[in-house]
Amino acid sequence: MNKKRLITVINIIFINVLFSAQLKTIANPCMRTGAQMITDSLHQRIILFGGGNDRLPWGRFFNDVWVLDLNTRGWVPLNPSGTLPPPRFNHSVAYYHSRNKMILFGGVGETHYNDVWTLDLTPGAETWTRILPSGTSPQPLSGATIVIDYASNRLILFGGEDGRGAKNDVWELNIQTLTWQQLNPTGSLPPPRFLHRAVYDPDQNKMIIFGGTNSSIFYGDIWSLDLTSGSENWQQLYPSGNPPGERCGFFGDYAAPERMVIGFGWKYSGGFTYYNDVWILHLNNLTWERIYPTDSAVEGRRGPCGAYDPYNEQIIIFGGDQYSDYYLDDTYAMTLNPVFVQEQDGNSKRVLPYLKIDPNPFRIPCHINAFVPVPSKITLKIIDVSGRIVKTLIQDQNVSGNCIITWDGKNDVGDRSPNGIYFVNFELNNIVAIEKTVLIE
């Protein structure tokens, strides 16, 4: 099949399946991963803070604040008064609606943090303030989650990692007295984890968590913490429907009425998988539903941030990365009902399946990025110049998103392949794409 014919077939297969409509803004926050966002619902805007990028010449971490106006759809930098928190990523944020403040906890930068900050969101008078709670505080943590329990006027913190391992502690910060206290809920505890997501379910006064990792295990489980003060109780939930794959480092938010929306993220199981899917957990009947936005596809990624826009029934998604060498600064708006993306200024693109080999030519190992726009069965093989199959890396595996596969230069029987030209053969739903590479070591 020639190249022109291949592209035609791909266009026919993937039209109107996924989305890739990007909001065109005047300026964007710099490329980053592990930033966090909240929705300032009183003023119809999204607030973004922090994040990291290992490839920046002036530093790895951010402590800047950006605002996305939900009416004009433009990013603008914000310059709050007060002392700025130290730069960080994989921190935890929550929006305290009744006081119009963003609350910030922890994260990792030059060290792990357990500090607490508030950002007053009064337009034109935005101000950072460090809070110094009394009581024994949680250890410095990255990748934890926090929610506001409005029924008891407190912040609830779960999980995270301290540089030595993952945690499954639960902590309460009383917002009135500014006092930390560790809670000891009844029931079976979730396994320790970080880079999971949690939302507050106001209808049932519960915190709902999904996914995460302890560095060696990736989770796809759902847990509920009943937040009845003094009677907190853990319960594992078993939703019906086809569940998302195990993952960490994804976006997640509560979307009224009674929905938890999650998407993207990554896992490692002999190779890196960067998801590009989006799911809704209906909390009223505990059912998973995968949603398929219209138009075209968005690349898989880890560490994006997301926030729910209740005025336009949308999830706003920003940034992320792929394995510390490919950072993103794109912004997407996905409308949930009905599921489609509102395009801005015609700024829409269609993303086709592709292979990327970096570097090329390569020295062992060879890193192959295979992008699969929609759930598909794929096969990935290494073929030499004679047409002989040298190594089968993936065989008839269901995949969606970006898969980072490593070839160690050995064939199927474990022998080292000689230097020279090889072809990466990528088969997807009976479509074949081929990329040439050269082994020089």
> What are the mean pLDDT values of the chain's consecutive 10-residue runs (441 residues total)?
31 32 71 96 94 85 95 92 98 94 97 98 97 97 97 96 97 97 97 98 95 97 97 98 96 93 94 92 95 75 94 90 87 72 39 75 85 84 90 87 86 92 86 85 73
pLDDT of residue 37: 98
The answer to whether 429 and 9 are in contact (CB under 8 A) is: no
Residue 167 sits in the same domain as residue 244: yes
Residue 329 sits in the same domain as residue 363: no
C-alpha separations of 233 from 52, 159, 227 in Å: 35, 16, 7
Residue 13 lies in a domain: no
pLDDT of residue 361: 85
Domain at 423, CATH number: 2.60.40.1930
Residue 277 sits in the same domain as residue 400: no
Residue 258 lies in a domain: yes
Residue 288 sits in the same domain as residue 379: no
End-to-end Cα spacing for the chain:
32
Residue 189 sits in the same domain as residue 260: yes
Residue 347 lies in a domain: no
Residue 12 lies in a domain: no
What pTM value is reported for the model? 0.83
Question: How far is 87 from 85, CA to CA, in rounded Å?
Answer: 6
Residue 286 sits in the same domain as residue 263: yes
Residue 372 lies in a domain: yes
Residue whose C-alpha is closest to residue 104's, from 146, 167, 43: 146
Structurally, how many domains does the chain consist of?
A: 2
Domain that holds residue 26: 18-340
Question: How far is 141 from 262, CA to CA, in rounded Å?
Answer: 22
Residue 206 lies in a domain: yes
Residue 152 sits in the same domain as residue 65: yes
pLDDT of residue 6: 31
- Beta strands 327-336 and 339-340 are antiparallel
Residue 10 lies in a domain: no
Residue 241 sits in the same domain as residue 196: yes
